Structure 1
Amino acid sequence: MAADRTAEGGALVLVGTPIGNADDASPRMRSAIESADVIAAEDTRRFHALCERLGLRTQATVLSLFDHNEAARAPELADHVAAGRTVVLLTDAGMPAVSDPGYRVVREVAGRGLAVTSVPGASAAVTALAVSGLPSDRWAFEGFLPRKAGERRRLAAALAGEQRTLVFYESPHRIAEALRDLAEGMGADREAVLCRELTKTYEEVLRGTLGELAETAAEGLRGEICLVVAPGAPQPAPAPEAVSGEVAARVEAGERAKQAAAEVAAAHGLRTREVYEAYLRQK
């Protein structure tokens, strides 16, 4: 295990930017931008527009950093940190590296043992979770749903029994069909909250079931969308006989029967002895 070190003052600083309302810009965010040596921005035009709205001035070298050039740009940015420069990394809105470019740069810089820190800011996912009123003690961020209907339906079915609150991003032109697929895979009566244009002038929070939200979305929705879906109902444990085939497959692959039974039992919330005995009966 190694700790990050500062290279003569150099550091990578992940800076959160407002997700809609410019008044959410923190003093630390402003200071970080104005004092940076290098700024890596997801869209340089939007970055300059943000600076104009906030009245910020920077003498930093501004570089573009987006999905398709991040891997190539990461070593260059790490070199700047190694040379003692402060590199600010920011995206169009929210926290970098959260469903946005950034994590490859963090890995490169941290992999060299150089300093990585942050100026925290708003996150649409966390904001939506907070206002949803759904359980927030355990939750999972799923990012954007798959674009293809088949992949989206398979994901919905796989997440049907998820015991954590789920948070998704989705575009306005796909949200109606996405909600239909989620309702089909998770159940139309699954509670959900759709947050639109968070922190902006036309912010809207729609509460209901996946089925109800699908009907609402069919009429058309605009703006940035974040969907929060309630946890699924606990799934009953399968009968030991139903999982004995998993034990048999592991044994055929070379595992000891008792060890295989123990691992399969743990995965399904069953007793090892019951699973092992069911395997022996069906050999």
Structure 2
Amino acid sequence: MANLTGNPKAFKSTLRKLETTDPKHPDTWNPNYQTLIDNDAYLKQFADEVAGARSGKADLSTRIDELAGSVAGQSEEADNNKVGILLYALQLAGLANLGVQNLRDVAQQQGELLIANRGLVRGCEASKSTTATRNLNFTEGVCFAQGRAFSVRGTDNSASVPSNPSGAAVTVRAYLFQDSNDVWRPAVTPIGSSMPPGAIPMYQLTIPSGNTDATDPYLTNVILTSVRRFEPEFPLMLDSPPNQSVVIRLVNASDYQLIFDVVEAQGAPCGIDAVVASSRATNGFVVSLHSAADNVRVRWKLVRLSN
């Protein structure tokens, strides 16, 4: 693999701004990379000069004090010239460090994200039981997860809603989970708990304060709000593709380039064209998944060399 070599004699204060219409080819990137490495070599040369100017001292301040003492008998103009040279070298060294840090931390950022893709094809409607206290019934339906569809049996009195003896309303979730026999079943989270990994959310339940078996055995005052995500055409088409937000270090504009690499996906195939940046901002972007796959792990790289 060929390397780019920096020229310490060349320094440029500008870079060509990359456009979205530029071809994705090394010939597009390499001229800018060459300018950056030339600048780094130029600034590194000055940084080395600063390091040499210390002459083994712990820092430049100590060296300057030593020089000031040794030239006390010289003219004020000579003293000022020497100090000016050292200060200029310090300024260039600071610019070199700032340039390297900006290139590493802002102009080129990277990370990894995980996109879950689960929901319902149809059914799984909840209702309050009239035959068992604080229980929910669910109609039959079809859910999707792990890149495939699963049948869900209709069940009565299959999910118990917790009591809330406290003085404030609380919120819990009704969800589907896959048991040890690979059967998808409904359940409700305990108060203060989250859904287990891999679960499919279905309803948000608002339980009023003081709502217990004694005060509300058949959940009359409990509010059920559907949060079901339906994809009737799964796996052929997704009406509401899942999104994942990514926070980035602040850049000057949102016209940066994003490069994605699908590391792994569960179930259905997931090509790189299924991962789309649906929106961009200077402090982050949103990725949409247009695939039936679940648990899609994506590595991303952000590039904005003109930042």
Same fold per superposition (TM over 0.5): no
Q: TM-score, normalised by structure 2?
A: 0.19
- Quick check: which one's helix share is greater? 1
- Quick check: which one's strand share is greater? 2
Q: TM-score, normalised by structure 1?
A: 0.20
Is the radius of gyration larger for structure 1 or structure 2? Answer: 2
